Amino acid sequence: MASKLKQEYSFKSEANDAYKLYVAKTKELVESELAKLVSKLSHINLHPQIEYALLSEGKRLRPLLTILSAESVGGNRSRVMSLALAFELMHTATLVHDDIIDQDEMRRGKSTLHKRWSVNDAILTGDALIALSVDLASEYGETILKTVAQSALQLCDGEHLDITHSLQRTTEEAYFRKIREKSASLFKAAAYCGVLAGGGSPLEARSLAGFGENFGIAYQLRDDILDLALGENSFSKDLKSGRVTLPLIHSYVASNAYEREKLETAFRIVKGKNGPVDSTIAEKILRTLTEKGSSEYCEKKINQYIQQAVADIAPLRDTEYKKYLSEMAKSLKPTA
């Protein structure tokens, strides 16, 4: 049953070698600039923790989107690099804090920061990263600074919705509100601010903001499906944390009263487990999702948001960067 849900996704487009090269070179540059930034912070007590959090392996999608948005309107990447880093720092801060909330012990193959040091150190590191993010964004004027601050507030509100939603009471509408705030808000702000810093017009700014939001929603939906993949020695992090995602919502709504009760019971057991999850309980949940077509339903939603993201950037001038934005969105398409 697990294999039915498990899909493969890639951030690389097979159709465009130029796009692949652009992403690789830009990510390499972002990594280099992050290392330089961290080296300048060697005088503060939290330097080891900040270095550990920031220089771990990551996709760097938010700074990539900031830079790409700026270049798509004629901006210069060197002039928006500090802004791009600001979004990566803000994102990293949320990961550090999320790991505390979820009591996760591993991230990207390494011990989480609160596990390696302490919860107190992790909280303070996340706070420091937010402060550094705001400091970097302040170089770009009041509008951009305010946008970054507002996106951080949305992230907090979205995270609170995430940890308080229940399977029985969460609607699809409430779910999309949550991911717009928690997941898509930072992508939206990164694209919007990239245009402003790159000297773009109000129309271009609106276009890229729409792109960023719809990309962010598709990205989160994709994660919802991937998270439900059952591995040999692990089980869905979202289920273990009690996170209510779209596949679960769809399956629950499509079930009758008896099926809902069974799903609620299995979800409650999985959520309450501190150790490994019984594979039979996992299979019950996965079987229900498969029977109700929940994975396929999410895939359709992903494609809808990808299409909308591509449509959002139609008003942009035709450049290689517009093509890269389109490639970036289409790279989220699920493939069997």
- Residue 107 pairs in a beta bridge with 110
d(CA 101, CA 279): 25
Write the DSSP assignment of 37-58 as a string of letters: HHHTTTTSTTHHHHHHHHTS--
187 pLDDT exceeds 90? yes
pLDDT in tens, 129-162: 999 999 999 999 999 999 999 999 999 999 999 8
What are phi and psi for residue 228, nearest 5 degrees?
-85, 0
**Whole-number average pLDDT of the chain:** 89
Write the DSSP assignment of 199-225 as a string of letters: T--HHHHHHHHHHHHHHHHHHHHHHHH
* pLDDT at 154 (0 to 100): 95
- CA neighbours closer than 13 Å in the CB half-sphere of residue 139: 14
- CA neighbours closer than 13 Å in the CB half-sphere of residue 23: 23
Question: How would you classify residue 103: left for phi > 0, otherwise alpha for psi between -120 and 50, otherwise beta?
Answer: left
pLDDT in tens, 229-267: 654 445 667 777 778 899 999 999 999 999 898 888 888
Contact indicator for 104, 237 with CB cutoff of 8 Å: yes
153 vs 269, more confident: 153
* pLDDT at 255 (0 to 100): 92
∠ CA 4-330-159, nearest 5°, is 70
- Please tell me the least confidently modeled range out of 104-113, 145-154, 315-324: 104-113
* pLDDT at 103 (0 to 100): 86
Average pLDDT over residues 288-310: 94
What are phi and psi for residue 210, nearest 5 degrees?
-65, -45
pLDDT in tens, 39-85: 999 999 999 999 999 998 889 999 999 999 999 999 999 999 999 99
* pLDDT at 2 (0 to 100): 41
Q: Is CATH 1.10.600.10 correct for 15-330? A: yes
* pLDDT at 227 (0 to 100): 81
15 pLDDT exceeds 90? no
Average pLDDT over residues 82-94: 97
285 pLDDT exceeds 90? no
* pLDDT at 232 (0 to 100): 42
Give the domain ranges of the chain.
15-330
d(CA 250, CA 266): 16
* pLDDT at 283 (0 to 100): 75
Question: How far, CA to CA in Å, does 85 sit from each of 22, 113, 133, 194, 282?
Answer: 18, 20, 7, 11, 39
